[in-house]
Structure 1
């Protein structure tokens, strides 16, 4: 099973969502999970993971099936030796599940990010990973369902967060 995760912040609560799907080219989800948690911690520059990680872990605790990989909206690495949200999630999961970061904008010091063009878009997505070779992760993101720049399952989890 594969999982896409996202978090939506509101003044009174934080919504974390997980879309589970069976294979990279899948066009529909196998399951949807939503966790309504307390308001997120304040944003700290350079420490975004502190704000989002607790919510991701709560929604992941609801997953009943083994995961092949987890896709997060953002970066795994912020630089050669600087862990981002995905790297912190990987460590929190005892390095048991590969994490793929898919970011929509370039980060100045991302280092090992690979640009991936999808659909007719001329703007790439930026893919980073841990527990899986980055080139393999980029191929997986290319194979994800959807004719547009953003894969269907990433759009789905984003909407699920905002609409829950």
Structure 2
């Protein structure tokens, strides 16, 4: 899979924030509404700087695994809220570049527009790859929202400064919501539709659930 290297990897907070400000105008929130292949992306840490990045590509229709890639490495960027992408994106890019079958949608463990500078990990990966991308967080990172109703499919908007940047979405009845935000080339409606479609049994959508398991254990089973 081809990835555009649009910037060198920064080493300071100021450089990283400047990259986000420079790439943010490239984000587009319109695109296709159906996808043939979807990829889940996740990173697992061992210690302070050792990490494993995993990408799992599934059929959107059957949720059968098509391809999987694991990359081991070390992060060189410090932990700074709002700049987490600079710890994880280099290894995820390496994993994506090893894919033989390019996905049509990236489902990222993280955030897209629901970010202090409106440029989370899903935005970053979407811009670098030119592939539609969305973020799914287990907790809310920024903004405000009410709790949605308890039924699957219920949602409430996540707002920042009067702007809707994502949704708290129930993927299972009575279970904590996930926090969905568009990253690139996808609308918020489509992002939520896809998360529900990809989460038929568990709270997390299947691509992320499998990528998390692969990153932690080195296997899908």
**Which residue among 40, 62, 77 is the counterpart of 1:26?**
62
CA distance in structure 1 between the aligned counterparts of 2:138 and 2:68, rounded to whole angstroms: 23
Normalized against structure 2, the TM-score is what? Answer: 0.66
Rounded Cα–Cα distance in structure 1 between residues aligned with 2:128 and 2:141 = 23
Q: Secondary structure at the match of 1:148?
A: coil
CA distance in 1, matches of 2:63, 2:207: 7
Match of 1:113 in 2: 166
Change beyond 3 A, Cα 1:107–1:38? closer
In 2, the alpha carbon distance for the partners of 1:41 and 1:108 equals: 21
> Matches of 1:66 and 1:153 in 2, distance apart?
14
The partner residue of 1:42 within 57, 63, 78 is: 78
Which residue of 101, 104, 111 corresponds with 2:138? 104
**Change in CA separation of 1:72 and 1:115 when aligned onto 2, cut-off 3 Å:** same
What 5-or-longer segments of structure 1 have no aligned partner?
none
Q: Which moved more, 1:14-23 or 1:38-47?
A: 38-47
Runs of 4+ in structure 1 deviating by more than 2 angstroms, as ranges, are: 25-28, 38-42, 78-82, 107-111, 119-122
| Per-residue deviation, 1:21 | 0.4
Which is greater in Rg?
A: 2
SS in 1 for 2:62: coil
Q: Structure 1-normalised TM-score?
A: 0.87
SS class of match (1:157): helix
| Cα RMSD for the two superposed structures | 1.9
- The number of residue pairs the alignment matches comes to 161
2:179 to 105, 126, 129: 126
Which runs of 5 or more residues in structure 2 are unaligned?
Answer: 1-36, 144-157, 160-164
Q: Deviations over 1:92-144 (max 9, x none)?
A: 22xx2011101111123263112221122332111111211110110011011
Task: Check the 8 A contact 2:171/2:196 in 1, yes or no.
Answer: yes
